[in-house]
């Protein structure tokens, strides 16, 4: 029992969330927005530099400056940082940080009289860091896949096909376009391992959760895969530290933070992980079969798996869970709130009217179906926007409202099959999770209870829970996450037998319609 800090280094901000496991409560939360504090000094917009041609970078020195400001702010708010027993964190996935041969010494000899920014400005072999938004590496993706024997071979090795956003293709591009700077690089880390290194005062390795988002890690063995490294860049193994087990401390916090902010000398630092794997923990998904669905701008379905199953059709990504035992499956649908709002606006409805339309129409919608590709879709692969109506009158507002929700729910069931998960419950977050009628459709399509989980920062919470478990490894994961991951009281929606039967008959029809009108 004690106090534990989770830090989330995201695209637009760095956040800290402090939990008290004895009280079972979040006791402090603070966020430093990059644009608000560093727009003038770094020139970032929405936390990044958009350079054209799909190239999007950020500033790792800015992240260090923001870390100082975050801890200063928490301390100024009255948080006794000396009571924190362990720290873990999450970082925006896939972003890469490149350090030169002065980095290890600089991190190990920090003076509390100077800021991180003033002491670390010279440690970078590359001043900026490509992040997950960067889509400029299509050529490198093809080269890496070819280098390991093809797309399926890379999928088998690493759990994922080559993604432009992933770290390996970014490293290969750096080697090709800046060979001298690549040669002068002594350490390549991810956003997560870089921030962990700042706190530990030494270079820290990438954990399996974030390592599985690089196209370079053996997903089953949770170690770097030499064949993938060779296909990425020459001499790469010499620039990477071994994969760091997620639950094992890398040591005590750097003396810099003890002297500057009053941390205990016994405060432990655990390897940081990616934001998606940390969210898995923050939502309490530590048992295979548990699934979470985020109904936001895009809809994201992620699940806890017992084995690293892969999607040969490229429908999702697979990451190692930071719990050290399981795996995470993630599928993203671009047409989430975008599509729901498009239907609402088309018929001049407010959200109350939208809900009333759902209440007024029967499960199955009398056979009326919609393919709601109001924008190009990720899953299934739909490169151009188009909407298809099947036995559905475009003038019927109520039927079209139900059609969009049923389409999204049916699609989520169809494209979750590759996960090999027997879905027993779904936690739902995001803006649309407040609508019980929408959740009712999902409960009936998936034939399982739906629980609304109210959280604004599941990645930081997951990081804090990882810190707690790392400090108390004898506790089960269920004991660790349980007090912090309960659904909103009274929010659970159970499936209805008649509606379940209606959707069981409809899912095949929907799948055929989808296959007819997509590239799958």
- Give me 73's structure tokens: 């702010």
Residues 6 or more apart from 193 whose CB is under 8 A from it? 91, 97, 204, 205, 206, 207, 210, 241, 244, 271, 272
Give pLDDT tens digits for 87-142.
999 999 999 999 999 999 999 999 999 999 999 999 999 999 999 999 999 999 99
Q: How far apart are CA 205 and CA 271, in angstroms?
A: 7
Give pLDDT tens digits for 389-410.
999 999 999 999 999 999 999 9
Residue 39: is its pLDDT beyond 80?
yes
Mean pLDDT of 56-74: 98
Residue 519: is its pLDDT beyond 70?
no
Residue 1: is its pLDDT beyond 70?
no
Domain 3-277, CATH homologous superfamily name and number: ATPase, nucleotide binding domain (3.30.420.40)
Give Cα separations from 246 to 320, 452, 469 (angstroms): 10, 28, 10
Mean pLDDT of the chain: 95
Give pLDDT tens digits for 194-221.
999 999 999 999 999 999 999 999 999 9
Give pLDDT tens digits for 470-480.
999 999 999 99
Instruction: Indicate the pTM of the whole model.
Output: 0.90
Q: How far apart are CA 265 and CA 257, in angstroms?
A: 9
Q: How far apart are CA 73 and CA 67, in angstroms?
A: 10
- Give me 16's structure tokens: 């800290």
Res 520: pLDDT: 47
Mean pLDDT of 378-385: 89
Mean pLDDT of 337-347: 95
Question: What is the DSSP-derived secondary structure letter of residue 241?
Answer: P
Q: How far apart are CA 96 and CA 191, in angstroms?
A: 6
Mean pLDDT of 46-60: 94
Give Cα separations from 81 to 14, 248, 338, 457 (angstroms): 17, 21, 41, 20
Question: What is the DSSP-derived secondary structure letter of residue 322?
Answer: T
User: Domain 284-454+489-520 carries which CATH code?
Assistant: 3.30.420.40
Cα angle 359, 364, 365 (rounded to 5 degrees) comes to 60
Q: Tell me which of 231 and 384 has the higher pLDDT.
A: 231
Residue 329: is its pLDDT beyond 50?
yes
What number of residues does the chain have?
A: 520
Q: Lowest mean pLDDT: which of 35-39, 76-80, 286-290, 444-448? A: 286-290
Q: Is 383 exposed, middle or buried (0-12, 13-18, 19+ CB in 10 A)?
A: exposed
Question: What is the DSSP-derived secondary structure letter of residue 1?
Answer: -
Q: How far apart are CA 303 and CA 246, in angstroms?
A: 19
Res 381: pLDDT: 86
The residue ranges of every structural domain in the chain are 3-277, 284-454+489-520
Residue 373: is its pLDDT beyond 60?
yes
Q: Is 37 left (phi over 0), alpha (psi -120 to 50) or beta?
A: alpha
Instruction: Report the DSSP beta bridge partners of residue 390.
Output: 369
Q: Where are the alpha helices (DSSP H) in 422-496?
A: 436-446, 458-471, 477-481
The HSE-up count of residue 27 (CA atoms within 13 Å, CB side) is 19
Give pLDDT tens digits for 152-173.
999 999 999 999 999 999 999 9
Is the CB of residue 88 less than 8 Å from the CB of residue 199? Answer: no
Is the CB of residue 334 less than 8 Å from the CB of residue 376? Answer: yes
The HSE-up count of residue 436 (CA atoms within 13 Å, CB side) is 9
**Portion of the chain with pLDDT greater than 70, in percent:** 99
Element (H, E) at 19: strand 13-20
Q: E strands, 342-454, where?
A: 369-373, 386-390, 425-429, 450-452
Residue 63: is its pLDDT beyond 90?
yes
């Amino acid at each position: 029992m004690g106090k534990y800090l989770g830090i989330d280094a995201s695209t637009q901000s760095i956040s800290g969330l402090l939990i008290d496991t004895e009280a079972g409560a979040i006791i402090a939360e603070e966020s430093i927005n990059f644009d608000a504090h560093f727009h003038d000094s770094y020139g970032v917009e929405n936390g990044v530099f958009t350079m054209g041609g799909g190239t999007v970078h950020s500033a790792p020195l800015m992240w260090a400056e923001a870390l100082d400001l975050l801890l200063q702010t928490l301390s100024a708010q009255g948080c006794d940082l000396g009571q924190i027993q362990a720290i873990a964190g999450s970082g925006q996935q896939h972003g890469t940080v490149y350090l030169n041969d002065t980095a290890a010494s600089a991190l190990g000899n920090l003076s509390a009289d100077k800021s991180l920014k003033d002491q670390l400005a010279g440690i970078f072999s590359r001043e900026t860091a490509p992040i997950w938004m960067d889509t400029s590496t299509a050529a490198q993706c093809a080269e890496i896949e070819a280098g390991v024997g093809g797309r399926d071979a890379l999928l088998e090795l690493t759990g994922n096909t080559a993604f432009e956003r992933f770290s390996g293709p970014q490293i290969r591009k750096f080697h090709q376009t800046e060979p001298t700077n690549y040669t002068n690089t002594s350490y390549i880390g991810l956003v997560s391992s870089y921030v962990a290194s700042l706190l530990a005062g030494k270079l820290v390795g990438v954990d399996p959760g974030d390592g599985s988002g690089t196209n370079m890690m053996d997903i089953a063995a949770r170690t770097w895969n030499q064949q993938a490294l060779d296909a990425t860049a020459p001499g790469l193994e010499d620039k990477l530290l071994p994969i760091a087990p997620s639950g094992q401390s890398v040591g005590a916090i750097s003396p810099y933070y003890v002297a500057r902010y009053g941390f205990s000398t016994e405060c432990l630092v655990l390897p940081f992980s990616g934001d998606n794997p940390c969210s898995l923990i923050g939502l309490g998904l530590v048992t295979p079969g548990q699934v979470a669905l985020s109904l936001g701008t895009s809809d994201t379905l992620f699940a806890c798996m017992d084995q690293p199953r892969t999607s040969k059709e490229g429908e999702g990504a697979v990451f190692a869970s930071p719990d050290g035992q399981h795996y995470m499956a993630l599928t993203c649908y671009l047409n989430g709130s975008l599509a729901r709002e498009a239907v609402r606006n088309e018929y001049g409805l407010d959200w109350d009217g939208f809900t009333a339309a759902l209440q007024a129409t029967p499960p199955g919608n009398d056979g009326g179906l919609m393919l709601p590709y109001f924008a190009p879709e990720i899953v299934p692969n739909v490169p151009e926007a188009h909407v298809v109506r099947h036995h559905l009158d475009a003038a019927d507002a109520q039927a079209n409202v139900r059609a969009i929700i049923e389409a999204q729910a049916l699609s989520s069931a169809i494209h979750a099959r590759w996960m090999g998960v027997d879905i027993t419950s779904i936690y739902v977050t995001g803006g649309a999770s407040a609508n019980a009628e929408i959740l009712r459709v999902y409960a009936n399509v998936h034939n399982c209870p739906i629980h609304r989980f109210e959280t604004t920062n599941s990645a930081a919470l997951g990081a804090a829970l990882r810190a707690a478990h790392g400090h108390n490894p004898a506790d089960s994961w269920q004991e660790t996450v349980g007090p912090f991951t309960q659904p909103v009281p009274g929010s659970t929606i159970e499936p209805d037998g008649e509606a379940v039967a209606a959707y069981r008959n409809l899912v095949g029809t929907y799948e055929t319609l989808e296959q007819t009108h997509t590239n799958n």
